[in-house]
Amino acid sequence: MGGAGRSPYELASEAASALGIALGADELASLASDHDMGEAELAAIAAAFGYLAEKRRLASIETLLRLSRLPRREPKTFEGFDFSRIQGRDACALAKLPSLADLYARRNVAFVGPGGIGKTHLAQAYGRECCMRGLKTYYIKASELRDRFQRALERGGASRAVATLVKPSCLIVDEVGRCTFDKPCTDLFFDVVDRRYEKEGPNAMVLTSNVSPSEWDEFFTGDDTLLCALDRLFDRASVFVMRGPSYRGRGLDTYSVEAVPQATKVRGMQPKGV
């Protein structure tokens, strides 16, 4: 815990604070005096508090990951992304994504490019890093989002659907452009965008698409005034336009085999008398 120059009471108090317990150094000193505790006992108390705090932190991360809808079987991480394949003038900007600077600056992030280049991997890795830092994240594909809006409109739960999508610090919408939103669903989508735009604290929308953002208006149905709200997505944003060959197929093994004609069995005549 980096206790150079600090008393054992301060160290134990800090460990208690990490666990959410208000236990001041002066109170600990009184406790130590009443029970004749020395530095070894105080160090043991600090270690126990630290252990419990870490256990609580890991449990919280596990809950955030479970609720995020991010894939759990083969999770996408920044460590698992081959940044060495990324070249070009702005490659360093992509390498800085793990710092979550955009989220803390309340800037949206978009990954745009052809299929298989790593857009979804980076978006999911961004969301996972948010969870690891204790920030609520939610992942959804654009087609799933449209379907959710449609069901909410049918059941009279539109307000709740929007509020649910405003709450997370990081909202990931994958594969924008794979489906078209009708007018009512478009209204709800931009309601989410508007409310998140005014949201306080660290937050960002992370979006992926095979289509340039300048063409996204083709997938949302509404008048010009409504579609102009699309600009709010990119008022504060980092857009990564990605090019290059697909990552897919790296684990593909190709085997060349050939079938030969089947041998014909000839049953010979046995000689007489044998």
Same domain, 97 and 201: yes
Same domain, 51 and 139: no
Same domain, 28 and 125: no
Same domain, 37 and 147: no
pLDDT value of position 250 = 60
pLDDT in tens, the chain (274 residues): 455 567 777 877 888 887 788 888 888 888 888 888 887 887 888 888 888 888 888 999 999 999 999 998 899 999 999 888 777 778 888 989 999 999 999 999 999 999 888 999 999 999 999 999 999 999 999 999 999 999 999 999 999 999 999 999 999 999 999 999 999 999 999 999 999 988 999 999 999 999 998 888 889 887 776 666 677 888 889 999 988 766 655 655 667 667 777 766 656 555 665 5
Q: Is 256 among the domain residues?
A: no
Does the predicted model carry a pTM greater than 0.75? yes
Residues with Cβ within 8 Å of residue 47, at least 6 apart in sequence? 15
Q: Is 258 among the domain residues?
A: no
Same domain, 183 and 99: yes
Same domain, 125 and 153: yes
Q: Is 1 among the domain residues?
A: no
Q: What is the CATH number of the domain that holds 136?
A: 3.40.50.300
Same domain, 18 and 149: no
* Residues spanned by the domain of 193: 70-241
pLDDT value of position 1 = 46
Q: Is 251 among the domain residues?
A: no
Q: How far is CA 219 from CA 73, 183, 252, 274, in A?
A: 31, 10, 34, 86
Residue 76 and residue 120 in contact, taking contact as beta carbons nearer than 8 Å? yes
CB atoms within 10 A of CB 230: 18
Same domain, 38 and 101: no
Q: Is 18 among the domain residues?
A: yes
Q: Is 21 among the domain residues?
A: yes
What's the number of domains the chain is made of? 2
Same domain, 93 and 129: yes
